[in-house]
Amino acid sequence: MREMSVGERLDQYQLTDVLARSGMASIFKAIDSATGTTVVLKIPHPQFESDVVFYERFRREEELGLRLEHPNIVRVLRPKEKSRMYIVMEFVEGKSLRALMQEKKPMGTETALSLAIQVCEALAYMHERKIVHRDMKPENILVTAAGCPKILDFGIAFDASARRLTWAGLSNTIGTPDYMAPEQIGGRRGDVRTDVYALGTILYEMLTGELPYSAANPHALLRAKANEDPTPPSYYVPGFDRSLEAILLKALERSPRDRYAGAAELLADLRNPGAVQPYDPEKGRARRRFSVPRRVLMPMIVVLVLAGLTGLIWCSHPHRTGSGRATQSKARGEPAGSAGGVPSREGLGTLPGFPSRRSL
């Protein structure tokens, strides 16, 4: 197989323009000769078509896309026949969410909430079908002129009900650092709460113009996500709505068990933020003050366990008692009760110049 170019025909599709190129695939705008509609083709570079792991990922991306039909998800279409590996998608006229965020920082609360709610609706729809996206970020959301966001790129999504890929070539730590959940950093597969974390980060950025963590490099960022709490939005936006702040910080909890259980639960709060208990800055500061990072906590636990074992061993070991010392003194001919040659009170009473116990 060779690289495709504009003007060429691939099965029923006439390639008319290059929309983007990445390290793994080219994205073409094309005309479907069977229907006359404009579509998008994602065609992998030839060198990847023989890669077993890449092929399985690509096949899975298409399979998951064909199962989803939601107004806020880019539709994947099924061609009549395929002569090589590629994915056909609906053409969406609009801008990426990243482009919109760059035009206005921060974004208005009403606009940001409207977009987040629609994206959350799509995630809730996916999660009901056991599909987790795992790479939610502004670049993977297209927004139409009418303000309708559409999720795309299911390249690393997975079906929680299906078997897991186990090839060594398939990296566990995948995603985009700024939007990755802490569990992804540790190489875990993630679940629906991973998408909740990513959407929380996107909404945070829309509302503040900043990210929840600031770091000098990706490695420092990943360490911060694993060990520190996010910066409250009110730090960047004075007067930030406390209820909305509580929603964001819950979505961004480091531990998945402390986050929203899924997109449906987050959606309920986004639709009615006024019903959420406002964030208490004092409690938040106290929590950060007394929180112990896992990298510090684990050594502390080990030290405490070792100290406890040492104490048990010491207590169970026989020690020299007072009677033992008296026996040793008697064997040496010393007065009873003396130790190391020092007379006891009873012994002193038998020496010249010292009254006995009876005379006292």
pLDDT in tens, 157-195: 988 766 554 333 334 446 688 999 999 887 777 899 999
* Residue indicated by tokens 């190129």: 21
Of 56-60, 87-91, 142-146, 199-203, least confident by mean pLDDT is 56-60
Give 214-219 contacts, CB < 8 A, sequence gap 24+: 218/177
What's at 95, amino acid-wise? Answer: K
79/12 Cα distance (integer angstroms): 8
Q: Which candidate, 324, 330, 323, 328, places its Cα nearest to that of 347?
A: 330
Q: Which two tokens stand for residue 321?
A: 């008692």
What single-letter amino acid sits at 271? R
What are the residue ranges of CATH 3.30.200.20 in the chain? Answer: 9-91
Residue 314, amino acid: W
With a cut of 80, say whether residue 131 has pLDDT above it: yes
- When pLDDT is averaged across residues 264-280 and rounded to a whole number, the result is 96
What pLDDT does 337 receive?
47
Using the predicted structure, report yes or no on whether residue 313 has a pLDDT greater than 60.
yes
CB 181 within 8 A of CB 256: yes
C-alpha dihedral (81, 87, 88, 92), degrees to nearest 10: 180
State the pLDDT at residue 318: 60
Strand, coil or helix: 322: helix
Residues with catalytic function: 135
pLDDT of residue 341: 47
Judge contact between 150 and 142, C-beta under 8 A: yes
Is the Cα torsion angle 209, 214, 217, 223 positive or negative in sign? negative
Of 33-37, 259-263, 282-286, which gets the smallest average pLDDT? 282-286
Contacts of 257 (CB under 8 A, 6+ apart): none
What is the CATH topology of the domain spanning 9-91?
Phosphorylase Kinase; domain 1 (3.30.200)
The answer on pLDDT for 147 being more than 90 is yes
Q: What is the DSSP code string of 202-226?
A: HHHHHHHSS-S---SSHHHHHHHHH
Alpha helices in 261-317 (DSSP H): 263-271, 281-290, 294-316
Structure tokens belonging to residue 98: 């990243």
More confident residue, 30 or 216: 30
Assess whether pLDDT exceeds 90 at residue 86: yes
Q: How do beta strands 9-10 and 13-21 pair?
A: antiparallel
* pLDDT tens readout for residues 224-254: 999 999 999 999 999 999 999 999 999 999 9
Closest Cα to residue 59, out of 80, 37, 39, 44?
Answer: 44
Per-residue confidence (pLDDT) for residue 243, from 0 to 100: 97
Give the start-end residues of each E strand in 123-278: 131-132, 141-144, 149-151, 158-159
pLDDT for position 2: 86
Homologous superfamily (CATH) for 94-308:
Transferase(Phosphotransferase) domain 1 (1.10.510.10)
d(CA 275, CA 287): 23
Q: Is 353 left (phi over 0), alpha (psi -120 to 50) or beta?
A: left
Asked whether the beta carbons of 344 and 336 are under 8 A apart, the reply is yes
pLDDT computed for residue 301 by the predictor: 65
The ranges of the chain annotated as CATH 1.10.510.10 are 94-308
* Average per-residue pLDDT for the chain: 84
Verify cis geometry, omega within 30 degrees of 0, for the bond prior to 71. Answer: no
Lowest-confidence pick of 107-111, 141-145, 155-159, 305-309: 305-309
pLDDT band at 213, cuts 50/70/90? Answer: very high
* DSSP state, residue 317: S
Task: Indicate left, alpha or beta for 134 from its phi (over 0: left) and psi (-120 to 50: alpha).
Answer: left
